[in-house]
Chains A and B, each alone.
Chain A
Amino acid sequence: MTQSTDSNAPQKTAIAPVILLHPDDNILVCVKQFHPGDEITIDGETLLSDIDIAVGHKIARINLRPGDKVYRYGAPIGSMTQAVAKGEHVHMHNMKSDYIPSHTRSRQHKDRSDA
């Protein structure tokens, strides 16, 4: 893991890799691909990422528990199914719709073979 004091470290981009869309949100949206070892700053606290996150994906702004509503644009976009810690990836493995289940290529395939 690169020390943040290392003078040979690549220049940090001027753009924050994550953005907060609404003050009430409990997730942040990644606007730049980041990798394990990259730093993310959340509400003034700097964390080290241990995962790959692609542009457009979400990370937890605070620790979240199962059943917690997830807020984006200040509006509820679903509920947590698993606990996640601040800075972790929030996606289909730990969150679900409060309306209609989402499908993926693999889930669709699994449904067919289950049938």
Chain B
Amino acid sequence: MSQAVSFSGWQRADGRKGIRNVIVVAYLVECAHHVTRKIVNHVNDMDVHLIGFPGCYPNQYAYDMMRAVCTHPNVGGALLVSLGCESMNREKLLSDILASGRPAELLVIQEEGGTKSTIELGIAAVKRLQSEAAAVARVPMQLNELIVGTICGGSDGTSGISANPAVGRCFDALVAADAICIFEETGELIGCETIMADRAVTPELGAEIEACVAKAEHYYRVMGFGSFAPGNADGGLTTLEEKSMGAYSKSGSSPISGLIKPGDIPPAGGLYLLDVVPDGEPRFGFPNISDNAEIIELIACGSHVILFTTGRGSVVGSAISPVIKICANPETYRRLAGDMDVNAGRILEGEATLDQVGEEILQNVIAVAAGKRSVSEELGHQEFILTYKAFEPIGPSCLPVRQIQ
């Protein structure tokens, strides 16, 4: 592996580069969802994605997430669709997106004459945004400009043996090439806190990591359940800490350079832990109601590509950034081969080594960054979910890399 790997990306005004040039069409409250979906369905383009926030009441996290994803480097333009009476600050969101150098338009259903006329106006707006986005310059892009996030979903007893450590090998190679790698989530790292803290680049960061796992444990205790689905048990996992140890191996063996929260963009190459569990007393329910809630948080932190490991067999993709699926269980792979990019189950059948599958994942990352469609992307998976949460800003010990610079 060398840093000489180069592909072409879309140059954005903030200096970042994208590997896709997606137009997002966003509903700003559930009441605008149908109109927005009709616009996206009519346009019927693999690079026009439906996103949105269902809530009517204000939430700073939701605003920050919408701004982060609408100004993501993979996004070339945004159409916002508002009903008109919801609290999302649509004017500020529009001006934030325009200020990022992207074309953006806003339609307010109550002011545009209702459903039919807003759909017609929306279709025309997307066409304008597409032609503006098509004019963005493509420039050479290297691995050290890439952000890669990882998540596991539908884990079973094989995830921690095959797919997760293979992603860990890929992460080690990417970090060595000075790329940014992000793993999560603290609720599924309960039991690994002391091992993780030992890998932190400073003792202060180690203490922050232990504190954030303790926060996750408290939060899940209040919820009454750990981050553990019945399918995990069907697949042979017995306890949350067993699932955690398996999930943890996705992080590889690089030092941990920082602890970030949704929407924070890591400042330099290295491995980062994303804390997805809200701060303060539990208020809005489960921190991660389904895998896509975490995927979009990884994307809000700048992830261009997501590595998704699965044992039981998840089929999801995501809006905005392509998802590469790595199947841990060879039997699942045979059942769901048409949904998977990489068969890490070969490791269990003695047909490949961890290093070989790690390299195969890396080559998939490079190919998808260079424009190849991942399997879920090709199938049209564009899942997106955003709900209520509350976060405090990260503390000064969380990004020691930034202080050194």
B-binding residues in A (CB < 8 A): 14-15, 19, 21, 29-33, 54-58, 70, 72-73, 75-78, 90-92, 95-105, 108
Residue of A32, A72, A91 contacting most chain B CB atoms (<10 Å): A72
Known: A57-B157, A100-B221, A100-B226. A15 touches B239 (CB 8 A): no
B160, B236, B311: the one within 8 Å of A30 (CB): B236
Q: A75-B195, A101-B226 are in contact. List 14 more A-B contacts (CB 8 A).
A: A29-B158, A31-B349, A33-B331, A55-B158, A56-B156, A56-B329, A57-B157, A58-B236, A97-B240, A100-B190, A100-B220, A102-B226, A102-B228, A102-B239
Does the CB pair A103–B230 fall under 8 Å? yes
Of B220, B237, B246, most buried by chain A (CB within 10 Å of CB) is B237
Q: Which chain B residues lie closer than 8 Å to A95 at the CB level?
A: 238-239
Choose one: B158, B217, B238, B329; the contact of A100 (CB below 8 Å). Answer: B217
| CB-based nearest A residue for B187 | A100
Whole-angstrom CA separation of A54 from B156 in the bound complex: 11
**Contact assessment for B191 and A75 in the assembled complex, using a CB-CB cutoff below 8 Å:** yes
Query: B236 to chain A: which residues have CB within 8 Å?
Result: 29-30, 54-58, 91
> A55 and B230 in contact (CB under 8 A), knowing A100-B240, A102-B240, A103-B225?
no
A99-B217, A99-B241, A102-B233 given; A56·B350 CB < 8 A: no
Chain B positions near chain A (C-beta within 8 angstroms): 156-158, 160-161, 190-192, 195, 217, 220-221, 225-226, 228, 230, 232-233, 235-242, 245-246, 249, 311, 329-331, 348-350
The residue in chain A whose Cβ has the minimal distance to the Cβ of B332 is A55
- In whole angstroms, how far apart are the Cα atoms of A75 and B192 in the complex? 9
Residue among A32, A33, A75 having the largest count of chain B Cβ atoms under 10 Å: A75
Listed A/B pairs (29) with beta-carbon separation below 8 Å: A19-B348, A21-B161, A55-B156, A56-B311, A57-B236, A58-B157, A58-B238, A75-B245, A76-B191, A77-B239, A78-B238, A78-B239, A91-B233, A92-B233, A95-B238, A97-B239, A98-B241, A99-B190, A99-B217, A99-B226, A99-B240, A99-B241, A100-B220, A100-B225, A100-B240, A102-B228, A102-B232, A103-B225, A103-B228
- Inter-subunit contact B238/A77 (CB<8 Å): yes
Asked if A77 and B191 make an inter-chain contact with CB atoms under 8 angstroms apart, the answer reads: yes
Q: B238–A15 contact, CB under 8 A?
A: no
CA distance A32 to B195 in the complex (A): 30
CA distance in complex: A55, B350 (Å): 14
Interface of B: prevailing SS:
loop
| Number of A-B pairs, beta carbon distance below 8 Å | 116
Cα(A101)–Cα(B311), bound, Å? 21
Q: Note all chain A residues with C-beta closer than 8 A to B245.
A: 72-73, 75, 77
Q: Once the chains are docked, how many angstroms separate the CA of A78 from the CA of B349?
A: 28
**CB closest chain-A residue, reference B159:** A56
Contact indicator B350/A14 (Cβ below 8 Å): yes
> Nearest 5 A-B pairs (CB), nearest first?
A56-B157, A56-B236, A57-B236, A77-B242, A97-B239
Residue of A nearest to B220 (CB): A100
Residues in B neighbouring A58, C-beta threshold 8 A: 157, 236, 238
Write out the residue numbers on chain B whose beta carbons fall within 8 Å of the beta carbon of A21. Answer: 161
In the assembled complex, the CB of A23 is this many whole angstroms from the nearest CB of chain B, namely 16
Task: State how many angstroms separate the Cβ of B209 from the closest Cβ of chain A.
Answer: 16
Chain A residues, CB < 8 A from B195: 75
Give Cα A61–Cα B217 distance, bound, in whole angstroms: 30
Q: Which residues in A have their C-beta under 8 angstroms from that of B156?
A: 55-56
Q: How far is the CA of A78 from the CA of B226 in the complex (A)?
A: 14
For B228, what are the chain A residues with a Cβ–Cβ distance below 8 Å?
100, 102-103
Q: Is the CB of A78 within 8 A of B237?
A: no
Complex alpha-carbon distance, A31 and B160, angstroms: 12
Closest to A78 in B: B239
Alpha-carbon gap, A30 to B330, bound state (A): 12
Q: Which residues of B contact A101 (CB under 8 A)?
A: 225-226
- CB closest chain-B residue, reference A75: B245
**Chain B residues positioned under 8 Å from A32 (CB to CB):** 348
Known A91-B238, A102-B233: A19·B225 in contact at CB below 8 Å: no
Q: Which residues of A contact B249 (CB under 8 A)?
A: 73
- Bound complex: CA of A92 vs CA of B243, how far in Å? 13
- How far, in whole Å, are A112 and B385 apart by their CA atoms in the complex? 28
Contact across chains for B230 and A104 when beta carbons are under 8 A apart: yes
Which of the listed residues A31, A75, A91 has the most CB atoms from chain B within 10 Å of its own CB? A31
CB of B216, distance to nearest CB on chain A (Å)? 10
Distance of A33 Cα from B345 Cα, bound (Å): 13
Residues of B within 8 A of A105 (CB): 230
